[in-house]
Amino acid sequence: MKRRYEIYTDGVQNRIAVPTGFSMLAFLLGPVWILLQRLWVEGIAVLTAEALLASVLYVNRVPWPFHVGLGLGFGLAVGFYARHLRERSAERRGFEYTCTVDARDGATALAMLVQVGGVPLPEWRARHLAGVPDFAPKNLRAIFSVAILTLKAAIHYRFVLVLLFLLIGAVFVLPGIIKHDGTATGFSQILLAYTLTAITGLLGFSSLWLACGTLARDIEDMSLFLVMVKPIPRWQIWLGKWLGIMVLNVAMVAISGTIVFGLLHARARQLQPAPLAKRRNEILVAREPVGAEIPNIDPEVEKEFEQRRRDPALSQMDPLFVKKQVRAQLEGRLQAVPAGQFRPLPYIFNLGPDARERFKDQSLFVRIRFFTPEYVGMDASFDHGWEIGGSKQRPAIRMVNNFGPDVPSEFAIPGDQIEPDGRLVLRYANLGALTVVVPLQDGIQVLCPEAPFAVNFARGLGVIVCWLGLLTAVGLFSASFLSFPVASFVSLAILVVGLSSGTLKQVVEQGGIIGVSSESGTIVEPSLFNRASVVVYGSAYWVLNQVSSFSPVDALATGRSITWLDLARAGFVVVGIAGGALGAAGMVILTRREIALPT
């Protein structure tokens, strides 16, 4: 079997043949192999890094498989990087590249060169370069070559190294310095929330900065000038840069995510069975929240509204305002449960036709978050009574538990209580001394196991990657028409404005901008301008709302499921719609822009 050898020659015609590609010996010996190549600095650096990381794992009482994994990781890196290390070693000894020969072994490669008189054949002279592979479709090669160029720039300017260092530092250091409630569940929640937030934040800013820099700087230093005179449409340059940054982002998310996942499981060895089970049930799961059915109150609203209109005091008021007040009042009645009473309507959860079979012999969790009409202090708690299920075949189960207001609380219920048609019926009794308010939308949910945590975690990381895709598009969009510093500033500004969607929402609720009644909070007379503003602001608000509704960190930290559908929606809305709109605008601007204007 033939292998590719690079031949190096020194000043006195000594030659060495260096095999390219993965080196098994380098993989097995790691830093020792590097030292054998007389690369003292590189060898000692790798040895030190390996020892440092091993100590961190040891201090964290990480089990031995992770040590093995670390060793394997280093070995693989050295094995794949062997060619460059050998090249460096040869060059330090005064050798220079001569040619590349395909041969059975090194001796044959050298002999082949000798056989042609020491002058390499023209086809041997070219050095193998990591360029666009031939299997890439011809019309996409330009995009891929720009993507590879972007990656090379990030690696050359040590951006990747610094980013990796920061990410690994954040992932290892944060769990050690942040406070938690002392429980395994609390620690896991904090670990997930803080490290994933740190990863998202670091990669988010780096994506913005890199996106602005890679395009704006290329235009400023005229490098793009030479690319744009080649037969590559400018939109492909834009897309190539986006792709390059995204490849980097995916790699960074995968590396840091793997470390977080490893750390999370490494703690399991130190836990007692009870906290371990609690953690497994509440955090390291993928539970899909199903909200209670909201009863249709429209007929009652209409009925009540008609009655109120007959009241002479109310007949002069804005009918829309009156109807809004009536609806709020009726909703309030459904949300409030007076002390010592059952809620008049039961909570009904539709878990799907096969739910009874799926969750047989499993525990489901009910999550409740309620409020009290008056402040009761942080330590106050209330008794709650529950009647779960109940049919001719299986009697209802009654439970009593005690929770505090304002924060979500959970309790387990048996999955066997689900009705044959997939409905779960819960009746709630307020056993406390005060009225409690359980919001209709998300006050009470049933959490059903949906997938293993690893899958959920991977989907969560996928959503983070979608976010990074949008931020990269924001950076590239700004850099399509602005200089690097201005583009960075504008990108951050877009980010801030995008996150504060309150004004947009207000305009939509008011029904316009001009002529808003101070009494009703809505516009008095609809006009073309107001209609147009509702359409524009409404669309922007819808997009922003959709985009910001994907919060993988919160979902992972609370054991909530991020379904494949959520991931697909995130991809479609965040990358496809929001990123796509910015991308299209950026590409059009870049295509129409005059490059090389005198400054």
Partner 1 sequence: MTTASALPSFSRPAPSDEVVVRAVGLTKVFKDFWGRPKARAVDNVDFEIRRGEIFGLLGPNGSGKSTTIKMMLGLLYPTKGHITVFNQSPRDVRTKARIGFLPEESYLYRYLTAGETLDFFGSLFQLDSAERRQRTEQLIEMVGLNQARSRTVGEFSKGMQRRIGIAQALINDPDLIILDEPTAGLDPLGCREVKDLIVALARRGKTVILSSHLLADVEDLCDRVVIYYGGRIHAQGTLHELLARPDQVRITSPIVSRETTEKVVSLLRSEVGDKVRLDNPTQNLESYFLDVVEKARAQGQTSGATSGNQVAQFIRGGSAEAATSQVDAVLDRLTRPAASPTNESLVSTPVNAAPVDESKLASLIRTAEPAAPAAPTTTGGATPEAPAAAPPAAAPKPVDLSQANDKLSGLLGRK
**Pick 39 or 555: Cβ nearer partner 1:** 39
DSSP SS3 for 481: coil
Three-class SS state of 294: coil
Shortest reach from residue 159's CB to partner 1, in Å: 11
Nearer to partner 1, 7 or 574 (CB): 7
Q: Which is nearer to partner 1, 139 or 316 (CB)?
A: 139
Identify which of residues 241 and 287 has a Cβ nearer to partner 1 in the complex.
241
b/e string for 36-67 if b means 16 or more Cβ within 10 A? ebebeebbeebbeebeebbeebeeeebeeebe
Q: How many other C-beta atoms lie within 10 A of the C-beta of residue 218?
A: 23
Nearest distance in Å: CB 28, partner 1: 9
287 neighbors 309 (Cβ within 8 angstroms): no
The nearer residue to partner 1, 496 or 597, going by C-beta atoms, is 597
Residue closer to partner 1, measured from CB, 14 or 381: 14
Question: Shortest distance, CB of residue 253 to partner 1, whole angstroms?
Answer: 25
Q: What is the DSSP letter of 140?
A: G
Identify the CA nearest to 575 among candidates 239, 209, 202.
239
Give the amino acid at 72.
Answer: L
Is-contact 301 326, C-beta < 8 A?
yes
Q: Where are the alpha helices (DSSP H) in 517-563?
A: 528-548, 552-557
Of 589, 578, 581, the C-alpha closest to 470 is 578
100/189 with CB nearer partner 1: 100
- In this structure, are residues 206 and 471 in contact, taking their beta carbons and an 8 Å threshold? no
- Rounded-to-integer distance, Cα 474 and Cα 490, Å: 9
CB of 488 to partner 1, least distance (A): 21
Smallest gap from residue 46 Cβ to partner 1 (A): 16
Nearer to partner 1, 333 or 592 (CB): 592
Q: Is 344 helix (H, G, I), strand (E, B) or coil?
A: coil
Q: What are φ and ψ of residue 98, in 5° steps?
A: -115, -55
Of 258, 253, 285, nearest to 367 by C-alpha is 285
CB of 223 to partner 1, least distance (A): 5
CB of 150 to partner 1, least distance (A): 11
Q: At what angle do helices 528-548 and 502-510 cross, to 10 degrees?
A: 140
Which residue, 36 or 178, has its beta carbon nearer to partner 1?
A: 36
Looking from the CA of 123 toward its CB, the CA atoms found within 13 Å total 1
147 or 466, CB closer to partner 1? Answer: 147
Minimum gap (Å) between residue 72 Cβ and partner 1:
17
The CB-of-32 to partner 1 minimum distance in angstroms stands at: 12
CB of 156 to partner 1, least distance (A): 4
When the beta carbons of 125 and 531 are compared against partner 1, the nearer one is 125
Q: CB under 8 Å to 102, separation ≥6 — which residues?
A: 2, 3, 4, 5
Neighbours of 273 (CB within 10 A): 7
Kindly state the smallest distance separating residue 469's Cβ from partner 1, in Å. Answer: 24
* Residue nearer to partner 1 on the CB measure, 305 or 489: 489
Conformational region of residue 15, where left means phi above 0, alpha means psi within -120 to 50, and beta covers everything else: beta
Report long-range pairs for 118-125 (Cβ below 8 Å, ≥24 apart).
Answer: 118/13, 120/7, 124/99, 124/100, 125/99, 125/100
User: Which DSSP state fits 557?
Assistant: H
Shortest CB 596 distance to partner 1, Å: 5
Task: Tell me how far, at minimum, the Cβ of 233 lies from partner 1, in Å.
Answer: 6
What six digits make up the tokens of 371?
Answer: 């409020």
Q: Which is nearer to partner 1, 224 or 355 (CB)?
A: 224
Q: Coil, helix or strand for 250?
A: helix
Give the residue ranges of DSSP H helices in 178-271: 184-212, 218-220, 223-228, 234-266
d(CA 278, CA 282): 6
